[in-house]
Structure 1
Amino acid sequence: MQVLLTGSSGWLGRFLAPLLRKAGHDVTGLDVASGADTDIVGSVADRALIDRVFAERGIEAVIHGAALHKPDIIRYPAQRFVDVNVTGTLNLLEAAVAAGHDRFVMTSTTSLMIDQRIRDEAGDAAIWLDESAGPLAPRNIYGVTKLAAEGLCRIHHLTHGIGCIILRTGRFFPEDDDTHQLLSGPNMKANELLHRRLTVEDAARAHLMALEQAPALGCETFILSAPTPFSRDEVRGLKQDASAVIARHFPDAASLYARQGWHLPRSIGRVYDASRAERIMGFRCETDFGSVLAALREGTDMPFAHDANYVSPQVQSLAD
């Protein structure tokens, strides 16, 4: 198929574009920043550009990964988030319907599920988050606009029948966390694979699978995160003494971490349950916390990317 990939210069795009080509698709990359997999530099908010790309490239399907993200809040006004995340999604959906498409995949975020109560993690038990969690009350303009974009996907499916798969991804960014500095970046990423992170490679694989299955699935929303080893009946223990719960599942985790100079989490306040994607779409992340421990045992590289100096192409273009 002729696939339009938005956000093609971003972290996900640079892994997803080659995967799509390997699967036999012709990829047109669209991004506001130039990149190796970007054919057209421009914004999804530009409807005339979108219509021209569809016409000239014969686009048959869309994977919509372009967005302004949470770190962009300090760089752009709220209106820009609406323009890109909401109007941009609407532009693509309307163009896809007009072209007679049967599939549309949108990268969303688990961030829109985190209201202030969940963010504060003040309760005595971890919060178990799956696709049924709600009511949703995003705490910033990023989450608000991504939730609106999800709604646009749903109404276009209901009105026009286009298959829309919404992928609420957990964390997969390569850089250090911009709010937590107590642990090293690799230590934090390893810990997060227990309950809120996946690798960019797994995120790319999920998008490819969603593209293939969208017409049959209709309109579905899936959380994407590494499979958690925990169960719902462990949420109190996770909040009060996560290390003890982890030890039940991974008896040698503490000793392996100690050799690395790392620390296991003392408390876990939320757990993303990605099991629905496995049940409905047949997708399961290949990399999980067990993969980290295997690497520590064998002395091999970590199974996830970490780059403390990573700067997104969009941010870099602002600095140039």
Structure 2
Amino acid sequence: MTGTSGRVGAAIAAALDAAGWAVRGVDRVTGQWTGVVGDLRDPGVRRAALHGCDLVIHAAALHAPHVGRVDDEEFRAVNVGATEALLEEAGRARVRRVVYISSTSVYGHALVPTDRAVWVDEGLPPRPRDIYDETKLAAERLVASSALTPVVLRIARCFPEPPRTLAVHLLHRAVGLSDVAAAAVRVAEHDTVAGTFNIAGPYPFTRADCLPLHRDAAGVIAERVPEVAAAFRDRNWPLPRTLDRIYDSGAAAAAFGYRPVHGVRQLLGAP
């Protein structure tokens, strides 16, 4: 597994280890789950990482916070060039499957609502808005076209945030780190699964809610999950007036049994 010294990569590696997998981690910096330290652009690092492996989970990348701080060519070299080289080496090493950790950020401009919240499933065409989106989408396409059995997991927003912000995001666009790790383990165990899947949280809304959520999200939340609305009131937090998108993980549920459990109720201790 690549990127095992990062927050998401380390969580996935730990979950795989707990599920009985022998994990060999590779990253540019040291970490608990990183046994091979080096840059994936180095052929020797790729060979050391992939020797004898059956499955590759590729999480290493430059991320959205690097936009504007790292040159675009470096983004392409790390996110696209290293992915292409890793796939080529994986083919030579007779790896059977590759799972690429991508991001719902690739939907880009398609996430901007017009008269209703955007229902984001895998049928929504990505419209990248920056070099991060562009390179993640390019890497997805390399993985999807490889001779290995390919899986792309587009994970929703997944990083620490202030409590009220996180609570709002867990209503419609964020995912718990433990759910991301569980999704990777589930897909690793389903060795015939292939395709692209959103990995998001357990949200209380349906596609039919998109119009009212854009117009009066607070009213919909109070009606649909009154215990969450009460928890917001208890903390003197305003409910959001509008929601711009809802991520749909239904395809992952159907394909490999993904069932997210860490949502806004769990964060707030709501019944």
- Output the TM-score relative to the length of structure 1: 0.81
**How big is the shift at 1:242?**
0.1
**How big is the shift at 1:296?**
4.5
Alpha-carbon separation, structure 1, partners of 2:259 and 2:50: 32
Structure 2 SS opposite 1:90:
helix
Structure 2 SS opposite 1:286:
coil
What is the aligned length?
271
Equivalences for residues 207-218 of structure 1 within 5 A = 207-213=184-190, 215-217=191-193
- Which of 68, 73, 93 aligns to 1:99? It is 93
Residue 233 (structure 1) aligns with: 208
Counterpart contact for 2:144–2:152, Cα < 8 Å: no
Alpha-carbon separation, structure 2, partners of 1:259 and 1:296: 11
Q: Cα deviations across residues 167-195 of structure 1 (Å, max 9, x unaligned)?
A: 00001112x3xxxxxxxx11111111111
2:118 counterpart of 1:124:
no
Runs of at least 4 residues off by over 3 Å: none
2:142 counterpart of 1:149:
no
Equivalences for residues 26-45 of structure 1 within 5 A = 26-45=22-41
Equivalences for residues 41-120 of structure 1 within 5 A = 41-55=37-51, 58-115=52-109, 118-119=111-112
Where structure 1 has 5 or more consecutive residues not aligned to the other structure, the ranges are 177-184, 298-320
Equivalences for residues 1-320 of structure 1 within 5 A = 5-55=1-51, 58-115=52-109, 118-119=111-112, 121=113, 123-134=114-125, 136-156=126-146, 160=147, 162-174=148-160, 176=161, 185-213=162-190, 215-217=191-193, 219-293=194-268, 295-296=269-270
Q: Cα deviations across residues 96-141 of structure 1 (Å, max 9, x unaligned)?
A: 21122221111000000121x634x4x221111100001x220000
Structure 2 SS opposite 1:153:
helix
- Output the TM-score relative to the length of structure 2: 0.95
Counterpart contact for 1:8–1:14, Cα < 8 Å: yes
**How big is the shift at 1:292?**
3.2
Q: Which amino acid aligns with 2:111?
A: I
Where structure 2 has 5 or more consecutive residues not aligned to the other structure, the ranges are none
Alpha-carbon separation, structure 2, partners of 1:60 and 1:244: 50
Alpha-carbon separation, structure 2, partners of 1:255 and 1:20: 37
Alpha-carbon separation, structure 1, partners of 2:252 and 2:17: 23
Describe the shift of the 1:22–1:118 C-alpha distance in structure 2 as closer, same or farther (beyond 3 A).
closer
Alpha-carbon separation, structure 1, partners of 2:45 and 2:31: 18
